[in-house]
Amino acid sequence: MEKKIMLVDDAAFMRMMIKDTLSKNGYTNIVEANNGQVAVTNYATEKPDLVIMDITMPVMDGLQALKEIKAQDPNANIIMCSAMGQEGMVVDALKQGAKDFIVKPFKADRIMKTVKGILE
């Protein structure tokens, strides 16, 4: 069965870039959210196999969304995206149950290595 991935980032171009990388590698079942609050709501209905989520977003940031998704589903697979210099937030995210993280600017091979490491 095809794996479903949810991309969560307030920047549409970032979602598009990651989506493009995933699609080229055979992951085409992709849903999107533009902030953490939408992600938490969509997680409940979409039940994705993997969430790739930005840390800094308006409305609800990635760390809060991570907490809420993990409360719904302790087995949720979540990869956090961070900018350079957000190491403290990344450490928090990993403590709260994120599986891994990728740092912007993204490299396609790093995204795929991380995704495959969790999904396959």
- The model's pLDDT over 59-84, given as tens digits with 9 standing for 90+, comes to 999 999 999 999 999 999 999 998 87
What average pLDDT does range 83-91 have in this prediction?
84
The fourth-level CATH superfamily of domain 4-119 is: Response regulator (3.40.50.2300)
Residue 13 pLDDT level (bands cut at 50, 70, 90) = very high
What average pLDDT does range 26-46 have in this prediction?
97
Predicted local distance difference test score (pLDDT) of residue 87:
82
Residue 14, pLDDT above cutoff 80:
yes
CB 79 within 8 A of CB 51: yes
CB 66 within 8 A of CB 97: yes
Q: Which uninterrupted H or E stretch holds 118? A: helix 108-119
Residue bearing the bigger pLDDT, 36 or 120? 36
Residue 86 pLDDT level (bands cut at 50, 70, 90) = confident
Predicted local distance difference test score (pLDDT) of residue 40:
98
Q: CB 11: neighbour CB atoms within 10 A? A: 12
| Domain layout of the chain by residue ranges | 4-119
Q: Rounded to whole angstroms, how far apart are CA atoms 114 and 92?
A: 19
- The pTM (predicted TM-score) of the whole model is 0.94
Residue 20, pLDDT above cutoff 90:
yes
CB 79 within 8 A of CB 52: yes
DSSP 20-83: HHHHHTT--EEEEESSHHHHHHHHHHH--SEEEEESS-SSS-HHHHHHHHHHH-TT--EEEEE-
